[in-house]
């Protein structure tokens, strides 16, 4: 509703501008208006950090990671500026975040439940679940977690996988972000963390003393989230398809996962 109003207002402004400047500006402004952007000329992207190596803020304060670089490339391809806005993961998957951004890139696994609230792009990443533990914990499988505390991030697919598949006697401890579980394991409050393999693999590679005890095939894929912006979604899907064939996707992928 609000978005419609904004669109009408926008088109009114564009109509005035067009009337003033003659026909030459009409085509570009119309194209921009059709993308239903929160801020004209800018692709505003919602994410939730930190979730390295997918999305995090680097030491000079810039958003980076696989998701962020992919979005940067998409914005460039659509001839738009690129701006990142932080939103809670719950708001991103629940559809409440899309008043402040055009698209969400936050390692969002596509699920039927989420698809009711969010219009997903075509999938752009294949994910697995994993159980992260300290190497000296002696835990080598999910079954070893019986009688111990398993940390999860609320509302993530790791949370749901653990909830539905944990052996009896595993106690779940929920955190609102992805930082809490690491601290909780360091503090011996929890013994393991169930989350996506991309995140734990990156962590294990740079932190000796931690291992991925077990990985789980779940047929999960990531999608970009949007809400009620069919033209923008179509444009993003077209760009994603183009990236898959012209090598852009492979280049970004190898920047983050092959080296």
Partner 1 sequence: MSKRRKQLIINIALYGFAVALVVLATIFGDWERIAGNFFNIDVVRAMLPEVLTIAARNTVLYTIASFSIGLVIALTLALMRMSTILPYRAFAIGYIELFRGLPALVTLILLAFGIPIAFSIRVPGGQVGAAILGLSIVAGAYMAETIRGGIEAVPRGQAEAARSLGMSQSRTMMTIVLPQAFRIMIPPLTNEMVLLIKDTSLFFVIGSTPATRELLKFARDFMSNRRNATPLTVIAIAYLLITLPLTYLVRKMEKRTARSR
Note whether 191 and 137 are within 8 A (CB): yes
Measured between alpha carbons, how far is 151 from 171 in angstroms, rounded to an integer? 8
| H or E element at residue 239 | helix 230-246
In the list 188, 207, 215, 254, the residue contacting partner 1 (rule: CB under 8 A) is 188
Residues 70-109 that bind partner 1 (CB under 8 A): 90, 93-96
Stretch that binds partner 1, among 36-44, 180-188, 197-205, 210-218 (CB under 8 A): 180-188
Q: Find where tokens 């039927």 sit.
A: 112
Q: For the CB of residue 172, give the shortest distance to partner 1 in the complex, in Å.
A: 7
Site string for partner 1, 2-21 (x = CB under 8 A): x-------------------
CB atoms within 10 A of CB 120: 20
What's the angle, vertex CA 220, arms to CA 238 and CA 93, rounded to 5? 75
In the list 183, 234, 238, 241, the residue contacting partner 1 (rule: CB under 8 A) is 183
Note whether 85 and 48 are within 8 A (CB): no
**CA-wise closest residue to 134 among 212, 194, 206:** 212
**Residue 176 in the binding site for partner 1 (CB under 8 A):** yes
Measured between alpha carbons, how far is 248 from 259 in angstroms, rounded to an integer? 16
Determine the size of the site formed for partner 1 (CB under 8 A): 27
Q: What is the largest CA-CA distance in the chain?
A: 73
Q: For the CB of residue 190, give the shortest distance to partner 1 in the complex, in Å.
A: 8
Q: Write the burial class of residue 111 (CB in 10 Å: 0-12 exposed, 13-18 middle, 19+ buried).
A: middle
Q: For the CB of residue 80, give the shortest distance to partner 1 in the complex, in Å.
A: 28
In the list 53, 65, 180, 202, the residue contacting partner 1 (rule: CB under 8 A) is 180
Q: For the CB of residue 208, give the shortest distance to partner 1 in the complex, in Å.
A: 17
Q: For the CB of residue 88, give the shortest distance to partner 1 in the complex, in Å.
A: 8
Q: Find where tokens 């969002």 sit.
A: 108
In the list 155, 160, 204, 253, the residue contacting partner 1 (rule: CB under 8 A) is 155
Q: Which CB atom, from 2 or from 259, has the smaller least distance to partner 1? A: 2
Residues 132-151 that bind partner 1 (CB under 8 A): 151
Note whether 154 and 175 are within 8 A (CB): yes
**Residue 154 in the binding site for partner 1 (CB under 8 A):** yes
Measured between alpha carbons, how far is 226 from 101 in angstroms, rounded to an integer? 9
**Residue 164 in the binding site for partner 1 (CB under 8 A):** no
**Residue 207 in the binding site for partner 1 (CB under 8 A):** no
**Residue 166 in the binding site for partner 1 (CB under 8 A):** no
For residue 75, the SS3 value is helix
Binding site for partner 1 (CB under 8 A): 1-2, 90, 93-96, 116-117, 151, 154-155, 171-177, 180, 183-184, 186-190
């Amino acid at each position: 509703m609000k978005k419609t109003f904004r669109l009408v207002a926008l088109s009114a402004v564009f109509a005035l501008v067009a009337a003033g400047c003659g026909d030459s500006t009409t085509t570009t402004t119309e194209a921009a208006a059709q993308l239903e952007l929160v801020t004209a000329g800018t692709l505003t992207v919602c994410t939730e950090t930190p979730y390295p190596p997918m999305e995090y803020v680097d030491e000079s304060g810039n958003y980076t990671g696989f998701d962020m670089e992919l979005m940067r490339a998409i914005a460039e391809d659509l001839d738009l500026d690129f701006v990142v806005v932080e939103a809670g993961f719950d708001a991103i998957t629940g559809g409440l975040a899309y008043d402040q951004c055009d698209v969400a890139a936050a390692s969002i696994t596509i699920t039927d439940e989420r698809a009711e609230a969010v219009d997903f792009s075509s999938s752009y990443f294949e994910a697995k679940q994993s159980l992260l533990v300290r190497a000296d914990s002696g835990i080598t499988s999910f079954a070893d977690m019986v009688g111990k505390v398993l940390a999860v991030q609320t509302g993530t697919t790791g949370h749901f996988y653990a909830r539905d598949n944990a052996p009896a006697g595993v106690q779940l401890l929920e955190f609102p972000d992805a930082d809490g579980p690491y601290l909780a394991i360091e503090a011996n409050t929890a013994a393991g963390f169930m989350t996506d393999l991309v995140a734990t693999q990156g962590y294990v590679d740079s932190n000796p003393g931690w291992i991925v005890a077990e990985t789980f095939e779940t047929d999960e894929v990531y999608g970009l989230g949007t809400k009620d912006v069919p033209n923008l979604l179509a444009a993003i899907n077209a760009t994603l398809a183009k990236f898959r064939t012209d090598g852009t996707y492979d280049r970004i992928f190898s920047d983050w996962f092959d080296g």
